[in-house]
């Protein structure tokens, strides 16, 4: 593993363990150079990696600080034991999946940036409706890089992608950076989610990361507003 990646992983672990708390300043570049015995360029690349993951923010003239939840819509940083897919979250209940789309395409520049891949790489384009006890509650729009998550098939989409990633591919899902906002459903979402009358959806936009810091998923999940409950969790 590249040195700056290893340092970024160590800093991320420190944030998750509470060594650095939300709003706290990271050690200065000079101090981290001495701590890890590397150049300032390496430290800068490691910190830039954390910025991309939404864990820290740079303030000109002040330093680098762990991102807080204040002043944002709703943001959540999930640890491995808090980070579950839909099927695992509702284990034991009657979970259903309807696959609406399963294609392979190039990502948009914006998605390529979030997934840290090139615009001429390929991603899965997945659209699914997830239901509980026959009631559709969320419509998911998911993109994953094929080179990182190979071999996804229709049968995987109909069960659990996350279980496939961890059990079949042997990768560890570590964390996610999420933004939650309210919105009105599209006409297609009204039909798929069986929405009648005026009912908003809760949109969860997410970039999810493996344990080695690589982003493996960009997704937007649109939940029925009357069937969803979200809590903001900060790392302490």
* Exposure of 207 in the CB half-sphere (CA atoms within 13 A): 17
What's the confidence (pLDDT) of residue 79?
Answer: 36
Does this model's pTM top 0.95?
A: no
Mean per-residue pLDDT pooled into runs of 10, the chain (236 residues): 88 84 87 93 91 79 72 37 57 82 96 92 96 92 96 93 94 86 94 92 91 90 79 40
Specify the pLDDT at position 22: 79
Distances from the Cα of 162 to the Cαs of 28, 149, 152, in angstroms? 37, 10, 11
pLDDT at residue 229 in the model: 60
pLDDT for the residue numbered 68? 60
Residues 6+ apart with CB under 8 A from 82: 233
Q: Would you state the pLDDT for residue 81?
A: 36
Check residue 78 and give its pLDDT. 37
Which residue carries 């995987």 as its tokens? 156
């Amino acid at each position: 593993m590249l040195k700056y990646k290893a340092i970024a992983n160590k800093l991320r672990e420190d944030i998750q363990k509470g060594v650095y708390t939300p709003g706290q300043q990271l050690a200065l570049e000079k101090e981290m150079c001495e701590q890890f015995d590397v150049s300032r360029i390496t430290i800068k690349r490691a910190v830039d990696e954390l910025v991309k993951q939404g864990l820290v923010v740079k303030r000109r003239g002040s330093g680098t600080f762990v991102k807080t939840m204040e002043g944002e819509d709703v943001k959540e940083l999930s640890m491995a034991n808090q980070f579950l897919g839909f099927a695992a979250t509702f284990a034991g209940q009657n979970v259903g999946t309807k696959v609406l789309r399963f294609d392979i395409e190039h990502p948009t520049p914006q998605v390529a940036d979030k997934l840290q891949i090139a615009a001429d790489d390929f991603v899965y384009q997945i659209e699914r409706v997830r239901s509980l006890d026959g009631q559709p509650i969320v419509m998911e729009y998911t993109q994953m890089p094929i080179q990182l998550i190979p071999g996804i098939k229709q049968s995987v989409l109909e069960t659990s992608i996350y279980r496939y990633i961890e059990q079949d591919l042997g990768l560890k899902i570590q964390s996610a950076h999420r933004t939650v906002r309210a919105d009105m459903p599209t006409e297609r979402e009204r039909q798929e989610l069986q929405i009648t009358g005026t009912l908003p959806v809760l949109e969860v936009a997410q970039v999810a990361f493996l344990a080695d810091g690589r982003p493996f998923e960009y997704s937007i999940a649109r939940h029925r507003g009357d069937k969803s409950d979200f809590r903001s969790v900060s790392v302490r």
